[in-house]
Homo-oligomer: A and B are copies of this chain.
């Protein structure tokens, strides 16, 4: 896009607002916008759409066919729910299926034969109750179990249609929309639905001649979000940004069985009420199901995109909301034929998530704050008491760390533009921010920022499919998420490996350090994958031969071998006692008090949030650098020709980001190269663009900072930075 090549205009999407035509066009000019967008549920006026800007128009296909949706209840989307457990007091027990769930979201699916799809479980024995022992009363919405055991706990896995689409529901309830229509999401798994959707899209495309880019919100299936009946105390019964729970239907299950040769059951989805949270290690069966849905979303999605292209419009997809099955990190993502991917970002890891996706020409970020009166937690933003400029600065310094490391093509805002009117300083700040972005973007063009001369691999059960991601935004206190946020702004080349990747190809040659992080049983740590002796042996040999292993929290943890918990404990030189080793003596260690390369930049005892305790070491070969309550927090261990480092947790902050940076270089045995294009002040970071000979230094803090940056020859360059500021040096 040649329009985007200017350093003062282009690459910026502005949310227009009908009724504020002058403001829209003034700010479009001030911020150098090349594109004006509408938002879900708003409409732009002719003065705006015909002002010569590119126009983005949002469309959410699955909730677009409203009269039809409600008239075709059996084509609505559905999912399995587990009824809340009921304890039998005698030999029969009746369970009201939707008790505890929000009945404006769910109705029981009485259309598809319950005996074919549902299951009743005795959760006390863990066994399924025979189908002969229960019956469904459609009128009452209950299941009656006979031959129950008094004192046993029963649940029903049942299918429920969703009669209110979740994003519509959230906005409606949050904004008190009163009697405005409840939108429902149709399920495109049915050929009839596909026909209706394509007809709608065709008509819509015809009716939007000024639209240059169709922004799909997103494809078909929302992330999982089950609401409870009492929204004050338990609104979210279950919610997971990347779980496929809300894609299921008898038709999907039937097609799956045909394709994969085996049948999934309701319990594959319900999993005792844990469902298939992205944070827990996935089963093979669930992975198969994900692949099945991904196939379908590509297949039908492609038809929608082809139609869009037929009208000479571009197709962008929003990397949130109904993104399930889209999988922008998947190698098949390019098959959709999308032109752009838009990610709403709070943090650096989301920037990397967006940049990571292959198969689209344009990667665009929707920055925070959204132009709404209040923020996500109800705090004032664009209203009395708010300071949107400071909010914007704080969001920007987080996102900028990612933008410095990976190329992003566009940025933009969302919400109600009129709200910025009383905040002229905000208007000014965004103008500067947009220019700063365009400059950083220009550095990435034909160039790459300097990175460490070795690769880092993160090993998880998901591998590259969930690269950078734990969820839709930062889960504070979640080790994996905190770690990827730290890494997202560091000058490192990070790759994401799954256990299957290891099985197929081992550790890639250019990877010098492998990181495993998370609690036992999580998808991030790996869970049952560690029961595979081959994985264990492969990594053991790899470190023996010189590899570097970094373990955080409960790396390689599996409870399946008595007397050991971390499968790689011999490599780490330590293990975790969960209380079973009271009778086993613990080696008495002393905390090394000499300065160590790893801890050289520590200003104070680091805060790792909720960290792992009960760590014990095997002997003097394990050097403990930090400890609390006699449990190491940071320890190193040389193993064969390789090195291992253990950390009891991680929290994203200046100090810990520097700490992990040093840990990685130490584990790689590349300490000598650590200072190259690096900063002395931990509140600052730098990026060197070799071809353009530009050194970028950023201040990640809200106070002025001075720092030194060393070039490849070790020469120090002094830089002073204002709060939140950036410096560009020719070097």
Contact = CB atoms under 8 A, between A and B. Distances in A.
Contacts of A475: 582
A233 B620 contact: yes
Nearest to A471: B582
A582 B233 contact: no
A378 interface: no
Contacts of A588: 232-234
A274 B584 CA distance: 7
A278 B537 contact: no
A602 interface: no
Nearest to A560: B126
A256 to B, nearest CB: 21
Interface stretch (A145-153, A187-195, A313-321, A709-717): A145-153
B522 A570 contact: no
A238 B559 CA distance: 21
A152 B581 CA distance: 23
A561 B126 contact: yes
A212 interface: no
Interface in A548-587: 559-564, 567, 570, 578-587
A628 to B, nearest CB: 12
Contacts of A541: 150-151
**Residue with the highest number of chain B CB atoms closer than 10 Å, among A122, A559, A582, A588:** A582
A564 B123 contact: yes
Given A271-B563, A570-B87, A580-B280, A233 B587 contact: yes
Chain A, interface size category, equals 35 or more
B579 A522 contact: yes
B570 A85 contact: yes
A273 B588 CA distance: 18
* Secondary structure type dominating chain A contacts: loop
A521 interface: yes
A35 interface: no
Contact of A584 (B273, B561, B586): B273
A232 B122 CA distance: 53
Interface string A95-138: 00000000000000000000000000011111000000000000
Interface string A224-261: 10001000111111111001000000000000000000
Given A538-B151, A563-B273, A585 B238 contact: yes
Contacts of A684: none
Interface string A494-530: 0000000000000000000000000111100000000
A279 interface: yes
Nearest to A537: B151
Contacts of A279: 579-580, 582-583
Interface string A602-644: 0000000010010000011000000000000000000010000
Contact of A585 (B124, B126, B239, B521): B239
Contacts of A520: 578-579
A540 interface: yes
A272 B561 contact: yes
Nearest to A224: B583
Contacts of A536: 124, 151-152
Contacts of A578: 519-521
A580 B478 CA distance: 12
A585 B540 contact: no
A89 interface: yes
Given A124-B533, A153-B570, A584 B237 contact: yes
A275 interface: yes
A126 to B, nearest CB: 5
A243 B583 contact: yes
A120 to B, nearest CB: 15
Contacts of A580: 274, 277, 279-280, 521-522
Contacts of A442: none
A236 to B, nearest CB: 4
A539 B82 CA distance: 24
Contact of A559 (B559, B563, B587): B559
A488 to B, nearest CB: 20
B537 A149 contact: yes
12 contacts: A124-B536, A151-B539, A151-B541, A151-B544, A224-B583, A239-B583, A240-B583, A271-B563, A274-B563, A277-B583, A279-B583, A610-B613
Interface of A: 82, 85, 87, 89, 122-126, 149-153, 224, 228, 232-240, 243, 271-275, 277-280, 475, 478, 519-522, 533, 536-541, 544, 559-564, 567, 570, 578-589, 610, 613, 619-620, 640
Closest 7 CB pairs of A and B: A272-B563, A272-B562, A151-B537, A277-B583, A151-B540, A273-B563, A236-B585
Given A234-B619, A279-B583, 16 more contacts: A87-B540, A126-B533, A126-B561, A150-B541, A151-B536, A151-B544, A152-B537, A152-B540, A224-B583, A233-B589, A273-B563, A273-B564, A273-B584, A274-B562, A278-B583, A519-B579
